[in-house]
Amino acid sequence: MRENITTAILAEKVVAIVRLAEENEVLPTVSALVDAGVRVLEITSNTPGYGVAIQQARKRFPEMLIGAGTILNVDLAQEAIAHGAQFLVTPNMNVEVIATAHGAGLPVMMGAFTPTEVADGINHGADFIKLFPASLLGIPYLKSLFGPFNGARFIAVGGINFANAEDWLRAGAVGVGMGGSILAGDVTAVGASIAELRGVSAET
């Protein structure tokens, strides 16, 4: 299961981030993302009722990959897994979360800011390294990481939108995470942008 989910995330390249203040807004937002062509999304743990929302979203949209985001520790990881999350996403490097996810057969995107955090994630088997906040670090920073960490799977998150997502993918990121910007604009245009990003290849 973990390998299949990882492969699907690599193919999709775009992970939508659902972080909302109102529980009753979650499913309509997920539905809008589905209509826009999103196939992978995370519902953050600080969204009210996120666990139930994951269960409901998986039932209503079985074709989607629904993960849990803002998983800061093992307790949250176990809670998200119990609610049916198909992958976990963290903003920080807590290597115990990696072991928890893998114990459940799920991939994990581990947040990292420094080379030390990147190394910790790689050494403990993280499926993806979530470079966060990407906009603060910048594309040159990402490129410099490929020197010591050649082959690492970086997903850029934080300040990513349709204006700059392709640049990050061409620089070597295997994916990008987008929040509110992914719903800004016409659904058809958003869908076309997502489809275009799926076809972007890294520069060699």
Residues 175, 197: Cα–Cα separation, whole Å: 9
Instruction: Given the residues 130, 143, 166, 203, select the one marked as catalytic.
Output: 130
Examine the residue annotation and report whether 63 is marked as an active-site residue of this protein.
Answer: no
Per residue of the chain (204 residues), give pLDDT as tens. Answer: 999 999 999 999 999 999 999 999 999 999 999 999 999 999 999 999 999 999 999 999 999 999 999 999 999 999 999 999 999 999 999 999 999 999 999 999 999 999 999 999 999 999 999 999 999 999 999 999 999 999 999 999 999 999 999 999 999 999 999 998 887 767 788 889 999 999 999 986
Tell me, what's the pLDDT at 127?
Answer: 98
pLDDT for position 180: 80
Give dist(CA 3, CA 17) in Å, integer.
22
Which pLDDT belongs to residue 204? 65
| Residues 22, 132: Cα–Cα separation, whole Å | 25
Q: What angle do CA 154, 146, 6 make, to 5 degrees?
A: 30
Cβ atoms of residues 37 and 191 within 8 Å = yes
What is the homologous superfamily of the domain 2-198 according to CATH?
A: Aldolase class I (3.20.20.70)
What integer pLDDT is reported at residue 30 of this predicted model?
Answer: 95
Contact (CB, 8 A) for 93 and 117? yes
Task: Spot the catalytic one: 42, 59, 79, 203.
Answer: 42
The question of whether 42 is a catalytic residue gets the answer yes
The CA dihedral of 153, 159, 162, 168, to the nearest 10 degrees, is -30
Residue whose token pair is 């799977």? 153
